[in-house]
Chain A
Amino acid sequence: MKNNYRHYYVLPLSFALLWALSTTLTSQNGSPPISGIITDANEPLGGVNILVKNTSRGTQSDMDGHYEIAANNTDTLVFSYLGYKMQEIAVDNKTILNVIMFPDATTLDQVVINAGYYNTTDKKRTGSIGRVTAAEIDKQPINNPLEAMQGRVTGVDVVQNSGVPGGGFKVRIRGQNSLMAGNEPLYIIDGVPYDIKTLGSSNTAGGIIPGADISVLNAINPESIESIEILKDADATAIYGSRGANGVVLITTKRGKEGKTKITVSSSTGIAQINRMAKLLNTAQYLEMRREAFANDGITEYPATAYDVNGTWDLNRNTDWQKELTGRTVNARKIFAQASGGNADTQFLLGGQYQEETTVFAGNFAYDRLSVNTNLNHQGKDERFKIVFSAGYSLEGNNLPSIDFTSDALRLAPNAPALYDENGNLNWEDSTWANPLAAVESKYSQDSKNLISNTIISYSLLDNFEIKINAGYGFTHLRSQTTTPHTIYDPAFGLDSGFSSLITTDARRTYWITEPQVRWHKKIGENVWDILLGTSFQETANEQNGVMGMGFSTNNFINNLSAATTLFILGEKKTEYKYHSIFGRINYAYRNQLFLNVTGRRDGSSRFGPNNKYGNFGAVGAAWIFTERNNYSWISFGKLRGSYGITGNDQIGDYQYLQTYTIQDYPYEGSIGLVPSRLYNPNFKWEKILKREAAVEMDFFDKNISFSVAYYNNTSSNQLVNYALPGTTGFTSIQSNLGAEVENSGLEFNLEGVLAHRKNFSWDSSINLSLPRNKLLAFPGLENSTYANRYVVGKPLTIVKLYELEGVNPETGIFEFKDFNGDGVISSDKDRQYIADLSPQYFGGLSNSITYKAWSLDFLLQFAKKKGYNQYRYTDPAGTLSNQPVSVLDRWQQPGDIAAMQRFTTGEDYEAYLAYSRFTQSSGTISDASFIRLRSLEVAYRLLLGNEGGASCRLYLQGINLLTYSRFEGGDPEQAKGFIPPLRRITFGAQFHL
Chain B
Amino acid sequence: MKKTRQHRIKKYIYLLLCTLLICSCEDFLEVDGPLGQIESSEVYEDETTATAAVMTLYGKLRDEVLLTGRPEGVGTLMGIYADELDFYGFGGEPMDSFYQHQVYSDDLIVENLWNGSYSLIYMTNATLAGLENSKTLSNGTKAQLRGEAMFIRSLAYFYLVNLFGDIPYPTGTKYETNRNLPKVPVSKVYEMIITDLKEAKSLLGTNYLLDERTRANQMVVAALLARVYLYTKQWSLAETEAGTLINNVFVFRLEPEVSQEFLKESTSTILQLRPKYDGGNTLEASTFLFTSGPPPLVALNPEFIEGMEEGDNRKNQWIGAVTDGTETWYFPYKYKYNSNTGTSIEYSIILRISEQFLIRAEARVKQGNLSGALEDINVIRNRAGLMDVDANSESGIIEAIINERFHELFTEFGHRWFDIKRLDLANEILAPIKSGWKTTDILLPIPEAELMMNPNLNPQNSGY
A interface residues, Cβ below 8 angstroms from B = 304-305, 430-432, 434, 461-462, 465, 467, 490-496, 498-499, 516, 518, 533-535, 537, 543, 550-551, 565-566, 568, 571-580, 582, 602, 604-606, 613, 654-655, 658-677, 679-680, 724-732, 734, 784-786, 788-789, 828-829, 876-877, 880-882, 906-908, 910, 913-914
A534 to B281, CA, bound (A): 62
Does the CB pair B123–A730 fall under 8 Å?
A: yes
Q: Is B53 an interface residue (CB 8 A)?
A: yes
B interface residues, Cβ below 8 angstroms from A = 6, 9, 12-13, 16-17, 20-21, 23-26, 28-41, 43, 48-49, 51-53, 55-56, 58-60, 62-64, 88, 90-92, 100, 102, 104-106, 111, 114-115, 118-119, 121-123, 125-126, 168, 170, 173, 175, 178-179, 181, 210, 214-215, 273-274, 276-280, 289-296, 324, 327, 338-340, 435-436, 447-455, 457
Does the CB pair B52–A672 fall under 8 Å?
A: yes
Does the CB pair B294–A432 fall under 8 Å?
A: yes
Does the CB pair A582–B20 fall under 8 Å?
A: yes
A551 to B452, CA, bound (A): 45
A432 to B327, CA, bound (A): 14
Question: Can you list 18 A-B pairs, Cβ within 8 angstroms, ordered by A?
Answer: A304-B327, A430-B292, A432-B294, A461-B12, A495-B338, A533-B20, A565-B279, A580-B28, A655-B33, A655-B37, A658-B37, A663-B36, A673-B55, A673-B56, A676-B123, A677-B37, A731-B119, A910-B435
State which of B20, B29, B115 has its C-beta within 8 Å of the C-beta of A606: B29
A727 to B457, CA, bound (A): 12
State which of A431, A462, A566, A576 has its C-beta within 8 Å of the C-beta of B280: A566
Note all chain B residues with C-beta closer than 8 A to A580. Answer: 24-25, 28-29
Nearest CB in chain A: distance from B104 CB, A:
8
Does the CB pair A728–B454 fall under 8 Å?
A: yes
State which of B41, B102, B119, B324 has its C-beta within 8 Å of the C-beta of A910: B102
Does the CB pair A728–B452 fall under 8 Å?
A: no
Nearest CB in chain B: distance from A724 CB, A:
6
Note all chain A residues with C-beta closer than 8 A to B292. Answer: 430-431, 491-492, 494
Does the CB pair A671–B56 fall under 8 Å?
A: yes
State which of B41, B62, B63, B122 has its C-beta within 8 Å of the C-beta of A676: B122
Does the CB pair A498–B121 fall under 8 Å?
A: no
Does the CB pair B173–A727 fall under 8 Å?
A: no
In this complex, what residue of B is CB-closest to A613?
B29
A493 to B33, CA, bound (A): 44
Note all chain A residues with C-beta closer than 8 A to B279. Answer: 565-566
State which of B34, B115, B324 has its C-beta within 8 Å of the C-beta of A430: B324
A576 to B28, CA, bound (A): 12
Note all chain A residues with C-beta closer than 8 A to B64. Answer: 666
Q: When A and B form their complex, which 7 residue pairs have the shortest distance between CB atoms, in order from nearest?
A: A730-B122, A666-B59, A494-B291, A574-B35, A727-B115, A671-B55, A492-B292
Known: A655-B37, A669-B210. A675 touches B56 (CB 8 A): yes
Does the CB pair B34–A660 fall under 8 Å?
A: yes
Note all chain B residues with C-beta closer than 8 A to A789. Answer: 452
State which of A533, A666, A785 has its C-beta within 8 Å of the C-beta of B453: A785
Does the CB pair A578–B31 fall under 8 Å?
A: yes
Does the CB pair A659–B40 fall under 8 Å?
A: yes
Does the CB pair B20–A604 fall under 8 Å?
A: no
Does the CB pair B102–A913 fall under 8 Å?
A: yes
Note all chain A residues with C-beta closer than 8 A to B30. Answer: 578, 606
Given A613-B26, A659-B39, A910-B436, 16 further pairs, Cβ under 8 A: A431-B293, A432-B294, A467-B16, A518-B17, A533-B21, A543-B35, A568-B276, A655-B33, A667-B59, A676-B40, A676-B123, A727-B118, A880-B92, A881-B90, A907-B91, A914-B102
Does the CB pair A669–B274 fall under 8 Å?
A: yes
A576 to B34, CA, bound (A): 7
State which of B36, B43, B294, B340 has its C-beta within 8 Å of the C-beta of A551: B340
State which of A431, A534, A565, A663 has its C-beta within 8 Å of the C-beta of B294: A431
Does the CB pair A493–B290 fall under 8 Å?
A: yes
Does the CB pair A674–B29 fall under 8 Å?
A: no
Note all chain B residues with C-beta closer than 8 A to A671. Answer: 48, 51-52, 55-56
Does the CB pair B13–A465 fall under 8 Å?
A: yes
Most-contacted residue by chain A among B114, B168, B175, B273 (CB, 10 A): B175
Note all chain B residues with C-beta closer than 8 A to A613. Answer: 26, 29
In this complex, what residue of B is CB-closest to A497?
B339
A732 to B453, CA, bound (A): 11
State which of B13, B63, B296, B324 has its C-beta within 8 Å of the C-beta of A490: B296
In this complex, what residue of B is CB-closest to A727?
B115
Does the CB pair B56–A666 fall under 8 Å?
A: yes
Does the CB pair A566–B277 fall under 8 Å?
A: yes
Note all chain B residues with C-beta closer than 8 A to A543. Answer: 35
Known: A660-B39, A728-B118, A728-B181. A498 touches B102 (CB 8 A): no
In this complex, what residue of B is CB-closest to A789?
B452
State which of B16, B100, B178, B295 has its C-beta within 8 Å of the C-beta of A518: B16
A29 to B248, CA, bound (A): 114
Does the CB pair B20–A535 fall under 8 Å?
A: yes
In this complex, what residue of B is CB-closest to A576?
B31
A660 to B35, CA, bound (A): 11
Note all chain B residues with C-beta closer than 8 A to A571. Answer: 36
State which of B100, B106, B178, B452 has its C-beta within 8 Å of the C-beta of A785: B452
Does the CB pair A660–B40 fall under 8 Å?
A: yes
A910 to B435, CA, bound (A): 9
Nearest CB in chain A: distance from B14 CB, A:
11
In this complex, what residue of B is CB-closest to A781?
B453
A908 to B16, CA, bound (A): 79
Note all chain A residues with C-beta closer than 8 A to B457. Answer: 726
Note all chain B residues with C-beta closer than 8 A to A673. Answer: 52, 55-56, 59
Known: A493-B289, A493-B290, A535-B20. A876 touches B92 (CB 8 A): yes
Note all chain B residues with C-beta closer than 8 A to A677. Answer: 37
Note all chain B residues with C-beta closer than 8 A to A467. Answer: 16
State which of B21, B178, B291 has its C-beta within 8 Å of the C-beta of A728: B178
Does the CB pair A492–B296 fall under 8 Å?
A: yes
Known: A669-B55, A910-B102. A728 touches B170 (CB 8 A): yes
Does the CB pair B294–A668 fall under 8 Å?
A: no
State which of A430, A576, A672, A786 has its C-beta within 8 Å of the C-beta of B449: A786
Most-contacted residue by chain A among B35, B48, B111, B457 (CB, 10 A): B35
Note all chain A residues with C-beta closer than 8 A to B29. Answer: 578-580, 604-606, 613
In this complex, what residue of B is CB-closest to A876?
B92
Does the CB pair B91–A880 fall under 8 Å?
A: yes
Note all chain B residues with C-beta closer than 8 A to A666. Answer: 55-56, 59-60, 62-64, 276
In this complex, what residue of A is CB-closest to B322?
A492
Does the CB pair B175–A729 fall under 8 Å?
A: yes
A679 to B88, CA, bound (A): 40
Note all chain A residues with C-beta closer than 8 A to B119. Answer: 727, 730-731
Note all chain A residues with C-beta closer than 8 A to B121. Answer: 730
In this complex, what residue of B is CB-closest to A680?
B40
Does the CB pair A788–B452 fall under 8 Å?
A: yes
Note all chain B residues with C-beta closer than 8 A to A574. Answer: 34-36
Note all chain A residues with C-beta closer than 8 A to B179. Answer: 725-726, 728-729
Note all chain A residues with C-beta closer than 8 A to B6. Answer: 462
Nearest CB in chain B: distance from A415 CB, A:
16
Note all chain A residues with C-beta closer than 8 A to B436. Answer: 910
Does the CB pair A534–B453 fall under 8 Å?
A: no
In this complex, what residue of B is CB-closest to A434?
B90
Nearest CB in chain B: distance from A302 CB, A:
14
Known: A669-B274, A785-B452. A674 touches B43 (CB 8 A): yes
Known: A493-B296, A674-B49. A828 touches B106 (CB 8 A): yes
Does the CB pair B63–A784 fall under 8 Å?
A: no
A104 to B273, CA, bound (A): 77
Note all chain A residues with C-beta closer than 8 A to B63. Answer: 666
Does the CB pair A518–B455 fall under 8 Å?
A: no
Nearest CB in chain B: distance from A69 CB, A:
44
Most-contacted residue by chain A among B118, B324, B339, B457 (CB, 10 A): B339
Does the CB pair B26–A604 fall under 8 Å?
A: yes
A882 to B64, CA, bound (A): 30
Does the CB pair B105–A494 fall under 8 Å?
A: no
